[in-house]
Amino acid sequence: MGAYLGRRTLQSLIALAGLVVLVFFLARLTGDPTNLYLPLDASLEARAEFRAKHGYDDPFLVQFGGFLVDLTRLDFGESIRKARPALDVVLEAIPTTLRLAAITMSLAIAGSILIGSLAAVRPRGIFDRTASILSLAAASAPDFWVAITGILLFAVALGWLPTSGTGTALHWVLPIAVLLIRPFGLLVQVVRGAMITALSSAYVKTARAKGVRERSVVFVHALRNAMLPVITVAGDQAAGIVNGAVIVETIFGFPGVGKLMIDAIEQRDFAVIQAAVLVTALLIFVMNILIDLAYAMIDPRVRHG
Amino acid sequence: MGETLRLLARDKVALAAALFLLLVLACAVFGPVVLGEAADKMNLRQRNAPPFSLADGWLYVLGADALGRSILARIVVAARDTVTIATLAVALSLVAGGTIGLVAGYARGWTETVIMRFADILMSFPSLLLAVVVLYVFNPGVATVVAVLAITRLPIYIRTIRAEVLEIRERLFVQAARVLGAGPVRLIGRHIAPVTVPTLITIATLDFAFVMLAESALSFLGIGIQPPDVTWGLMVAQGRNYLATAWWLAFFPGLAIMLTTLSLNLLSSWMRLAADPTQRWRLDRAPDTGAR
């Protein structure tokens, strides 16, 4: 187990190092921020001074060297838009995104386990066919379209929910509902598939023959073995949300990492782009390792050697 | 083929999905020729004309946009770029990712390590940032969007195919071919690659729907297809500004995306069932409605 964790951490560090290089140079390919931040009639001297102050007049390799040196001190540089350390700006946005991801994924996992298992009990029965088509429809829905249709219906027409912002609990209903749809649809499919396999295996027949109640056959015996693929897909979906629920955050004006990242790209706020990409990548690496550990916990046959 | 069609005819939902996809394909191929002119014709008296009214002719049955252009005609015409981008992106990532995966699985050693770490980096890189960078550096258009989408989907193909090759290369017929003197190119091309084709096709059918949604999302955020080119995602984005006064501008193109991806997903899950000999019998059985 220790050796496994070491190897995984090493692999993650290599990937992170690659990401550092890629993000730094790709961000700078989008262009010079000077013209965005100075007024149109700024003099050439003012422009040169701005460039010199932020180091944009150095060759890329020199800038990169400086960035690496700062990085070893966990210094991601200043956000030029907010004139504050970039890391602080990112860390402020992280809790909103994490909370969105946590609530969404808990609801999606709980709901999909229930619906998917019930559908798997009688494959191609009436409940299964309805659940399959509805969950496929959910997995096929374009989230930006669902979001604006939701705003139109529940905020504009009915006036039940606010259109955007984060003030009260009501503000979270629409964004979470929109975020929920796709992972939920996908997970129902995965749970159903894994449960059909599990329910037709020999140990389930044994349990039934012993007279175990149907409810515990489905939700205890079969479900435990069906959980592995569910966790894999759920992890992928959670990573997607952490990596920026950009659409939902921009439409609903949520101050999360996704909105921060797209604003930073538009404003050429390189320090914030770099900090946001690296912090979210780190979070996702940690989550992936936790998921691998969860495999071994749920299924004792899985051993990380 | 006849057998497959017979099975398809039995499953009404899958049949409906297949017919809808044929309709979309027909729109993509013939739409711009037939309705190209109607889609660009502005008619300021018709600005934001409401849907479900035949007073101005059937072209305006889904209403008109802010410039008085027929929404129906624009949806039909936009099918071409929408379908083209998804098809090209899937084909590109399938061929490139499949090839890289084959090499990684066959070569082992440091080649494999380099490729897999590269796939890790691509996986953790926000595709949005990639899209913006490519858009700023190159001219935005169909080709750049295809490239962005293909690159972001590469790791899926690389990882799956590599894992599969690791298993296939140990099989007896591959070993036999090697003993008989087949070189790496022949081994990969003639013996290993054909076995991975079903997996590739399964991923590709699922990916097609995903790529379509991703393109729509990029265009919606304004970093995908740029006007005067038009895709369904872009139409939703343009309609968003009129949401409160003319909901049909954004609603119908979004519905087109939804129905197309749904049909793709329905058909691909049906295909997986039909292609699996151990599951195929389920299709031939009448739907189970009674008690156990």
A chain contacts of residue B137, beta-carbon cutoff 8 Å: 29-30
| Shortest CA distance from A236: residue in chain B | B123
Domain boundary assignment for chain A = 2-71, 87-304
Distance in angstroms (rounded) separating the CA atoms of residues A196 and A218 = 10
Phi and psi (nearest 5°) for B48? 50, 35
A chain contacts of residue B78, beta-carbon cutoff 8 Å: none
Task: Give the pLDDT of residue B276.
Answer: 66
Residue B49 has pLDDT above 80, yes or no: no
Put simply, whether B132 touches A (Cβ < 8 Å) is yes
Residues 6 or more apart in contact with residue B259 via CB below 8 angstroms: B20
For residue B231, give the H/E element and its range.
Answer: none
Residue A268 has pLDDT above 90, yes or no: no
Instruction: Give the closest of B244, B258, B261 to A156, CB-based.
Output: B244
- The structure's pTM equals 0.80
A chain contacts of residue B118, beta-carbon cutoff 8 Å: 18
Does a cis peptide bond (omega within 30 degrees of 0) precede residue B228?
yes
Q: How confident is the model at residue A137 (pLDDT cuts 50, 70, 90)?
A: confident
Q: How large is the ipTM?
A: 0.77
Residue A288 has pLDDT above 60, yes or no: yes
- CATH code of the region A87-304: 1.10.3720.10
Residue B292 has pLDDT above 50, yes or no: no
Who has greater pLDDT, B89 or B125?
B89
* Interchain CB contacts (distance < 8 Å): A and B: 134
Q: How confident is the model at residue B279 (pLDDT cuts 50, 70, 90)?
A: low
Find the mean pLDDT for residues A96-113: 91
- CB-facing half-sphere around the CA of B58: CA atoms within 13 A: 1
pLDDT tens column, A213-227: 888 888 888 888 888
Distance from CA of A146 to the nearest CA of B (A): 8
Q: How confident is the model at residue A103 (pLDDT cuts 50, 70, 90)?
A: very high
Tokens of A9: 């951490």
Put simply, whether B292 touches A (Cβ < 8 Å) is yes
A chain contacts of residue B120, beta-carbon cutoff 8 Å: 11-12, 14-15, 18
Task: Give the pLDDT of residue A110.
Answer: 93
Domain boundary assignment for chain B = 2-285
pLDDT tens column, A50-96: 777 777 777 778 888 878 887 787 777 777 777 788 788 888 888 88
List strand residue ranges (DSSP E) for chain A, in order. 78-79, 84-85
pLDDT tens column, B217-251: 888 887 888 888 888 888 888 888 887 778 888 88
Helices (H), chain A: 2-29, 34-37, 44-54, 60-72, 86-121, 126-139, 143-150, 170-199, 202-209, 214-216, 223-242, 246-251, 257-266, 270-298
Residues in chain A: 305
Put simply, whether B128 touches A (Cβ < 8 Å) is yes
- Architecture of the domain spanning B2-285: Orthogonal Bundle (1.10)
Put simply, whether B264 touches A (Cβ < 8 Å) is yes
pLDDT tens column, B171-192: 888 889 889 988 888 888 888 8
pLDDT tens column, B1-12: 667 777 777 778
CA B192 remoteness from chain centre: 26
pLDDT tens column, A157-203: 787 877 777 777 788 888 888 899 988 988 998 888 888 888 888 88
A chain contacts of residue B121, beta-carbon cutoff 8 Å: 15, 18-19, 22
Residue B291 has pLDDT above 50, yes or no: no
Instruction: Give the closest of A15, A125, A246 to B288, CB-based.
Output: A125
Who has greater pLDDT, B39 or A26?
A26
